[in-house]
A and B are shown apart, each in its own frame.
Chain A
């Protein structure tokens, strides 16, 4: 449902069914709604059987990269010779994205159940749920839910009377976007600076505490109990366009729309309908100028591209962007694209972990050049310089934060060049767009 709005009839409500329903937050309320049946079922299955169901469902990671979840689980060692870990990525910090927050605030037990099932599939007795430090409300809800699940014997040394151990702990971040990157997150749990690690080794071989680890996003894990309950075929059939993109997906829509919020759609749904129908369109008297469909790390789409875009992994690429984390940022004609490009670059400059020269210097330099243009001191060479710099920042660093900074710059200049040129000609002065 489009919390804080009522569910739109065209939504496919699976994960968001109980958003806004306070009783669903409690253990008993969750059980009343069918909760923990999937876990019960999985306790009677082998790890390979569970993994195979998730593989067959076609579920792909909802944290940004879209990697097939069952396949990721299958990379974990089958013969367990040392402890395994599960990390749940609840660091949600990608500008435009606010779906994991809603899952944790309203359906904490869906996440706990999903984590527990994943733990059984990868043979991890311990799961750490890494929640960003600013998420005080989700933390409180999750803390209570985990306590309750322990008290009911669903978690602990003898989970649901199965004789199997399932432990789950919350770990609080402390303000660093980069800790959402999987290896930075592991370093952060280990009590280190949140620097991404060079891969390989991959987490399934050497992850948290150098032990075999799987990391999944909140939304990915929350989808798992539904797949176990209703079957892989049911999930796979949720598809409106490309068969490689299946299931439902929460889209966080923000910016210049009448009704911002989370909307759950079947993959392949048109972006045009999400904006104009579900979200009630842009503000009165305004027109759509641009949209970032997948969180700030993916390229801008202009109006035409947005209106032709189908929301799945392949459709977003075909339109000229990426599905990413499905944080959909909508800009109407009042937005100053030069200023907003600078503001996005500033985000990445602030969040760079500073390990790689291209990223540390490149993000900061990008901001300085854009600021110079905004101040009216830019020259025609600056746009070429920005593009050249973006090229140097792409595909050359330990993680893709550097590439993420380049994406809005390159697409911004390409798609809204006229606005940049207006600044260069002195025809425009920096102004902050207001709603």
Chain B
């Protein structure tokens, strides 16, 4: 899997992935209900969800590409553009904010070389964004690095975290 996979689209829903989708589809009375799970499967396989991938999802679930796009854009966790290999989400909502979360976000921007929120670092390794409440406000600041949920991150701990993932 490459986060920067911009090569021509090859089908995602073949072999085991197709089988996995079929298991999921059996749970629902409509094919449409497989949409969020299918989009997750694309993102897991390709790192992001391209227009071509959305068209494939549409075909598999018998929906229109426009419908799929309309739903995909509603949800913030789907990447509709390629992102860095390590995707960092820092909570900066009020409870974390009053415990120093903005400093944590700044530290990530600085130490990953991303510079700006949402921008990917020149080496393609990092993207850092601020997100709203991660549902772990008692462990400020919670940070998601891809699927790793880190708790009690302080600005001081950021260089060490960046180093660990860069290794």
A27 within 8 A of B: no
Interface size on A, residues (CB 8 A): 60
A98 at the interface (CB under 8 A from B): yes
Stretch at the interface among A71-79, A88-96, A269-277, A393-401: A88-96
Binary CB contact string for chain A from 141 to 185 against chain B (1 if under 8 A, 0 otherwise)? 000000000000000000000000001010111111100000000
Comparing A234-242, A370-378, A427-435, the segment that makes contact with chain B is A427-435
| CB-based contact A254/B148 at 8 Å | no
Flag if A93 contacts B135 (CB, 8 Å). yes
Residues of A at the B interface (CB closer than 8 Å) are: 4, 83, 92-98, 100-101, 126, 132-137, 167, 169, 171-177, 188-194, 209, 252-256, 260-262, 296, 327, 329, 331, 334-335, 340, 343-344, 347, 350-351, 353, 432-435
7 A-B Cβ contacts within 8 A?
A98-B136, A177-B133, A194-B75, A209-B30, A254-B137, A340-B97, A434-B103
Q: Are A94 and B138 in contact (CB under 8 A)?
A: no
> Nearest Cβ distance between residue B49 and chain A, in whole angstroms?
11
Bound form: Cα–Cα A188–B34 in Å? 10
Residue B77, interface by CB 8 Å? yes
**B76 contact set on A, CB distance < 8 A:** 174-176
> Is there contact, CB below 8 Å, between B132 and A191?
no
Contact status A174-B77, CB under 8 Å: yes
Q: Which residues of A contact B144 (CB under 8 A)?
A: 134, 136
A118 to chain B, nearest CB (A): 18
Q: Is the CB of B33 within 8 A of A190?
A: yes
* Chain A residues with CB under 8 A of B29: 83, 209
Q: In whole Å, how far is A398's beta carbon from the nearest beta carbon of chain B? A: 16
B66 interfacial contact with A, CB 8 Å: no
Docked-complex contact B138 and A435, CB < 8 angstroms? no
Tell me whether A176 and B32 are in contact (CB under 8 A). no
- A-B interface, 10 closest residue pairs, ranked by CB to CB distance from nearest: A191-B35, A175-B77, A174-B75, A175-B76, A191-B32, A254-B137, A260-B138, A193-B74, A95-B133, A254-B95
Whether A174 contacts B78 by the Cβ 8 Å rule is: yes
Within 8 A of A (CB), among B108-147: 131-140, 144, 147
- Docked complex Cα distance between A426 and B121 (Å): 39
Q: Is B133 within 8 A of A93, CB to CB?
A: yes
Known: A262-B138, A296-B133, A351-B132. 17 other contacts (CB 8 A): A95-B93, A98-B137, A173-B75, A174-B39, A174-B76, A174-B78, A175-B131, A192-B71, A209-B29, A209-B30, A253-B138, A260-B137, A296-B94, A344-B93, A347-B132, A347-B133, A433-B97
By a CB distance below 8 angstroms, the chain B residues around A209 are 28-30, 33
**Which residues of A lie under 8 Å from residue B74 when comparing CB positions?**
176, 193-194, 353
Q: Give every chain A residue within 8 A of B77 (Cβ-Cβ).
A: 133-134, 173-175
- Chain B residue at minimal CB-CB distance from A95: B133
Q: Is the CB of A132 within 8 A of B32?
A: no
| Bound-state Cα–Cα, A5 to B93, Å | 24
A260→B76 CA distance, assembly (Å): 28
B99: Cβ under 8 A from any A Cβ: yes
CA–CA, A331 and B94, complex, Å: 10
